[in-house]
Chains A and B, each alone.
Chain A
């Protein structure tokens, strides 16, 4: 595969840029902490689901929230690359479009997963200091959580890139992706058990891939879940695979 160096190149670029954009890293850590402490702390005094603290219940949800926002929004960078001619520089190289897409997905996934890793460390620190209770941080649970995070991220980054490849302005991207991200977040069970939603929303909840990631993570970390973890993983894998295929197609037809 002569495109391996090119895939590495695209990953290398995203990683370098991510490293240099300190504000992005800081924001990506501070936001989830605020959510945890303010929403988790505020509602925690009156709420509790499934016999655990609300803060504990919320933690896996916040992991997914950070995935959703940073992975999908990563697609906006491709719109920016279009505004300047950087995207053309990549498209005019001998690399195949499929490889370009893979390189971009890997780059975006790395950014997102680094943020998740930081959140896991914060979760662990909270657990050690007693702020969070009832979360299992074992080698097995962390490995399983990472698998869930990785598979979901790949699918979500692909969604962002698909939208980005079709959009011409960052504002348009923001609009479309918000329409997608907010329902996915609110209907995933990240903030409250999905059983609490009105019945007519159930199909949307069940069609939402984030539901299965939240369920999988909560099952792994707290032991609280609705579906079998294998089913969760299967659904997300199918989702991510489908997004990769659509994304590859979208990149072949990319609008300049």
Chain B
């Protein structure tokens, strides 16, 4: 059963087309990833699906409600954890959750029950009466995830859920997301530019580049489609022609430091490749990763970090507010 149906969705900012005629269906209960570099149109897509900005053309059905004609009903069906901090740090964790409950029109009995429930889920019960400004980045993120779940949404959107967090906290958050998906059967849509995150969490993912879907499928399927292994060669004077026309080679990428050849099975074909390229300085064989898939479809490596300022940095800015 499909829970999100995106139809020809387009968003233009002046001359820039941020999202370009996107068509996509997301099934109920899956963890779906939107993977792409910064500025690929992931967050814009999310903002449109959550009714915060109107599309230039096209539309989408979220939980069977049209994002343009029935935004109120869409908003009731979804929860979202934004990329930037969105809790009020002058309030306590509990107060932030109470605020959320009130915004979603919960009466006090239900509100208290849900607050207790989500606090337990993210392990913040003991710290609920501390002001959010005393929380670490990871705790604040967990609080915001808890908040996004409080009204039991059908669909949870997570915009870069672990951006700028330390490895241990990321691990925790991944655990929570997995738990939510398996225990609560919530459909989860994640945007990320971390390959390991997408690989680990998503049932299916779409690689988005320049507002379009460049590839779609499960992480395993995407890797399989491209072929099995990467042979990484350092070589002087590489001649692309030497490897032309071989059916076991799926892709050849060159960069400043060498050549990456994607082959179906390196154990079978390494000898042949090396005999054709001639003498090499070094060679390295490794299994294909999602990163390689990404480079294949977008023609460039994903940029690590966020040039516009990461989550932790925004949190610091927010702190300077008062």
Residues on A close to B: CB < 8 A? 2-3, 5-6, 8-9, 12-13, 16-17, 20-21, 80, 83-86, 88-96, 256
Contacts and interface: CB of A to CB of B under 8 A. Distances in A.
A13 B91 contact: yes
B80 interface: yes
Nearest to A1: B105
Contacts of B82: 85, 88-89
Contacts of B85: 84-86
Interface string B147-183: 1000000000000000000000000000000000000
A6 B102 contact: yes
A16 B92 CA distance: 10
Contacts, number: 88
Among A3, A21, A95, the one with the most B-chain Cβ atoms within 10 Å of its Cβ is: A95
A83 B98 CA distance: 22
Among B105, B106, B318, the one with the most A-chain Cβ atoms within 10 Å of its Cβ is: B105
B314 interface: yes
Given A90-B103, A94-B76, A85 B86 contact: yes
A17 B132 CA distance: 12
A16 B91 contact: yes
A92 B50 contact: yes
Interface string B17-53: 0000000000000000000000000000001001111
A16 B104 contact: no
Chain B interface: which size bin?
35 or more
Interface of B: 47, 50-53, 72, 75-76, 78, 80, 82-88, 90-91, 95, 98-100, 102-106, 131, 147, 314-315, 317-318, 321-322
Given A12-B99, A16-B91, A89-B82, 11 more contacts: A3-B105, A12-B98, A16-B90, A80-B321, A84-B315, A84-B317, A84-B321, A91-B52, A92-B52, A93-B100, A256-B52
Given A17-B88, A21-B90, A92 B104 contact: no
Contact of A92 (B51, B83, B91, B131): B51
B321 A94 contact: no
A84 B318 contact: yes
Contacts of B105: 2-3, 5-6, 94
Contacts of A94: 72, 75-76, 103-105
Nearest to B85: A84
User: Shortest 3 CB-CB distances between A and B: which pairs?
Assistant: A9-B102, A85-B86, A85-B82
A89 B102 contact: no
A95 B51 CA distance: 13
Contacts of B321: 80, 83-84
A5 B103 CA distance: 6
Nearest to B319: A84
B103 A93 contact: yes
Contacts of B104: 6, 93-94
A17 B89 CA distance: 9
Nearest to B51: A92
Among B76, B90, B95, the one with the most A-chain Cβ atoms within 10 Å of its Cβ is: B90
A17 B91 contact: yes
A20 B95 CA distance: 13
Contact of B87 (A6, A17, A86): A86
